[in-house]
A and B are shown apart, each in its own frame.
Chain A
Amino acid sequence: MTASTASSPPVALHEPWEDLSRQRQAATMGMWIFLLSEMLLFGGLFAAYTVCRSLNPMGFRAGSHEADLVYGTINTVLLITSSLTMTLAVRAAPARLHKVALGFLAATVALGLAFLAVKGMEYHEDLTKSLFPGPGFKLPQQGAEQFFSFYWVMTGLHMLHMTAGVIAVSRLIVVGRRYPEWLETSPAVEATGLYWSLVDVIWMILYVLIYLPGRGG
């Protein structure tokens, strides 16, 4: 009933719950409350972006035109696919398809790492093109520097969330490989899946705000 010791396998059921069903309800509810706070955190950034963009539409358009659509789109596809693999892992685990679940979890981590690698390449290119706000910034248009301030803050914050997600999913793999029954019953699998999907959702909005304005012109 209580937390596991170093010598015993981890138990899925913890105090104060009497059964796994109640514990699972509490875990998903707790995760949803956490996701609410995340929605409002990024929502505030989106609101600030919207105001600044309405004040400097041409500068934001010029800034967005410099953002690399190819990198952004590749990363969007990677994240959408990782959400698929995470969802399949969440559904395979309680069905006692342990190896399938572990395979999907491993695919999720691989796709998450690929996202971070592509983002790192994009950051390197941005820095090479002097797109970091400050002295020597490339674009002269008013508001373009502000656009890239939002770009670095919002994508950087999102990268931190991605990194945390990769660590959380990796933990599921490490523990789940040793204790398949834990993977089958623990609410942590479902809660981690919810978190991963939210990171995906935030990126979908970021993608539209950062990469799509100013295209085709």
Chain B
Amino acid sequence: MSRKRDKGDGHSPFWRGPLLAWGALLLLLAVNVALAYLLGGDNPLIGVGIAVAMVLVVAIIFMDLRRSGPINRSLAGAGLVWLGIMFALMFADYLTRS
């Protein structure tokens, strides 16, 4: 995270971005619960998709990845890549079993 953002961007106070992110997260949570009831909660892709959107909001705003250096961004990306490899190999096995 950058130390230059301490009192905001010079234009906006330091609390504005996190507060907007908090509102967005609550909104996404409400949408997820509503869709689970409307669609029966049997489609995991929708629920997980919205959860991933929430995770991105936290990572970008709360964990300040948007202002992090390339090393930290690379590390966060590496985590996603390794998770992706694990899930891809797992699905390649279980989804192709007869």
Contacts and interface: CB of A to CB of B under 8 A. Distances in A.
A186 to B, nearest CB: 13
Contacts of B37: 215-216
Range for the number of chain A residues in contact with chain B: 35 or more
B69 to A, nearest CB: 7
A37 to B, nearest CB: 9
Contacts, number: 143
Contact of B79 (A35, A76, A84, A207): A35
A77 B29 CA distance: 8
A205 B55 contact: yes
Contact of B6 (A35, A40, A91): A91
Q: Is the interface of B mostly helix, strand, loop or mixed?
A: helix
Contact of B62 (A40, A84, A215): A84
Interface in A7-61: 21, 24-25, 28-29, 32-33, 35-36, 39-40, 43-44, 47, 50-51, 53-54, 57, 61
A214 B41 contact: yes
A106 interface: no
Q: Is the interface of A mostly helix, strand, loop or mixed?
A: helix
A214 B84 CA distance: 26
Contacts of B38: 216
Contacts of A214: 40-42
A57 B44 CA distance: 11
A39 B42 CA distance: 25
Contacts of A35: 75-76, 79
B83 A80 contact: no
Given A204-B54, A212-B41, A214-B42, A91 B14 contact: yes
Contact of A28 (B14, B59, B72): B72
A215 B1 contact: no
B92 interface: no
Contacts of A201: 55, 58-59
Interface in B43-86: 44, 47-48, 50-51, 54-55, 58-59, 61-64, 68-69, 71-72, 75-76, 78-79, 82-83, 86
Contact of B41 (A33, A47, A216): A216
Interface in B8-22: 14-15, 18-19, 21-22
9 contacts: A35-B79, A36-B82, A43-B87, A50-B44, A57-B42, A84-B18, A95-B7, A197-B59, A198-B63
